[in-house]
Amino acid sequence: MNNVKIIGTGSYAPDRIIKNIDLSKIVDTNDEWISTRTGIKERRITEGENTSFLSTKAALQAIKNADIDPLDIDLIVVGTASPDSFIPSTACLVQAEIGAENATCFDISAACTGFVYALNIGTQFIKTGQCKTALVIGAEVLSKIVDWSDRSTCVLFGDGAGAAILQKSEDNGILSIYTGSDGRNAAKLLGCSAVPVNNPFINTINEQNSLVTMSGKDIFRFGTKIVPKCIEEVLKNQDCKVQDIKYIVPHQANMRIIDSAAKRLDIDSNKFYINLDKYGNTSAASIPIALDEMNKDGLLKKGDKIILVGFGGGLTFGSALIEWMIN
């Protein structure tokens, strides 16, 4: 099996900042409620740019940071719950924009765990020798599927994209990955329908909208249990403990979920990198945006061990133990 490492990162969020107070003009809410319940202060919302546009911006930064030629990329995987279209995939649209003619491209649907799943796919393709250089992206324009009349969900989400380049390597930078899913009651807990079944040969026309619905309390409970479990699982059979981890990069859903996970694991909340105050929950994009910020800000040194941990609709969950290999 080949070794794999991250050689570059990138991210992009739309310019338009929507603060909590701006939302109080649309629904019955206020800054105090949103801040204390979630930690979110503001989020970025697109003014028309779609998911492939955000993905392309993040991908170009990651390519530059990795100092590679787009023609070196032989796999593009985009984790997204809000693609531009059913067909073509967001990954194919990105491929065309960045000129990665040698890549095989597809999207995966794992909601907020999308980046961890995409990272896993890219890693396995490289490990088995199927490809050498993979571009993995988490990207969302959730603002187009959020119900802007539902105050219990619309205040939580934001738009953005993050990307990483994985490459075959001498050193082992992806030490272990843990993933799982639980499809029971999934759509009731957190869902967003696609188009209804409708054709000329049936009598019933199903009425349904395609907006996000969520049982906040159930997802909150799920998050508080699954984040510590994912961290424990990814450390199993590894010669390091959670205390040896420099940073945990969690899915940026809710500060209270992260605080609860820190408590359960008996570690300081400061070990968790947080930027949800600035972006809200950007689903599949939240982990790679955070990772790119940390990379740009020089928080990561070669040899540092970090854990990425995601959870979300599906239900899906996963974590990756990474040794940082960029100098």
Q: How far is the CB of 115 from ligand COA (least distance, A)?
A: 12
Q: Does 29 bind ligand COA (CB under 6 A)?
A: yes
User: What is the phi/psi pair of residue 47, to 5°?
Assistant: -110, 35
Q: Is 112 one of the catalytic residues?
A: yes
Cβ proximity to ligand COA, 68 vs 274, nearer residue? 274
DSSP codes, 182-243? --TTHHHHEE---PPP--TT-S---------EE-HHHHHHHHHHHHHHHHHHHHTTSS--GG
| Whole-angstrom distance, CA of residue 233 vs CA of residue 315 | 17
276 binds ligand COA (CB under 6 A): no
Q: Count residues contacting ligand COA (CB under 6 A)?
A: 19
Which two structure tokens, joined as six digits, stand for 165? 């380049």
Q: With binding defined as CB under 6 A, does residue 38 bind ligand COA?
A: yes
- Which range in 30-38, 72-80, 82-90, 268-276 contacts ligand COA by CB under 6 A? 30-38
Whether 281 is catalytic is: yes
Cα atoms found within 13 Å of the Cα of residue 320, Cβ hemisphere only: 28
Catalytic residue among 112, 154, 192, 230: 112
Instruction: Write the binding mask 221 to 250 for ligand COA: x where contact by CB under 6 A, - elsewhere.
Output: --x---------------------------
Q: Give the residue ranges of DSSP H helices in the chain.
A: 20-23, 31-38, 51-66, 90-98, 114-127, 151-154, 186-189, 216-235, 255-265, 276-279, 286-296
In the set 16, 22, 31, 33, which binds ligand COA (CB under 6 A)? Answer: 33
Cα distance between residue 224 and residue 39, in whole Å: 15
Q: Is 20 in the site for ligand COA (CB under 6 A)?
A: no
Sites for ligand COA among residues 39-98 (CB under 6 A): none
Please give the structure tokens belonging to residue 11. 């991210």
In the shown chain, the binding pattern of residues 155 to 184 toward ligand COA, with x for contact by CB under 6 A and - for none, equals x-----------------------------
Minimum separation from the CB atom of position 166 to ligand COA (A)? 24
Of 256, 196, 192, 193, give the one whose Cα is nearest residue 224.
Answer: 256
Q: In this structure, how many other beta carbons lie within 10 angstroms of the beta carbon of residue 269? A: 14
CB of 283 to ligand COA, least distance (A): 7
Name the residue nearer to ligand COA (CB basis): 53 or 222: 222
Q: How far apart are CB 111 and ligand COA at their closest, in Å?
A: 7
Please confirm, yes or no, whether 251 is among the known catalytic residues: yes
Task: Confirm if 125 and 134 have CB atoms less than 8 A apart.
Answer: yes
Considering only residues 112 through 141, tell me which ones interact with ligand COA, judged by CB under 6 A: 112
Residues 284-313 contacting ligand COA, CB under 6 A: 312
Q: Does 212 contact ligand COA by CB under 6 A? A: no
| Angstrom distance (rounded) from CA 178 to CA 319 | 5
Q: Dihedral of the CA atoms 112, 116, 119, 123 (nearest 10)? A: -150
Instruction: Give catalytic residues, as residue numbers.
Output: 112, 251, 281
Residues in contact with ligand COA by CB under 6 A are 29, 33-34, 37-38, 112, 151-152, 155, 214, 216-217, 219-220, 223, 253-254, 281, 312
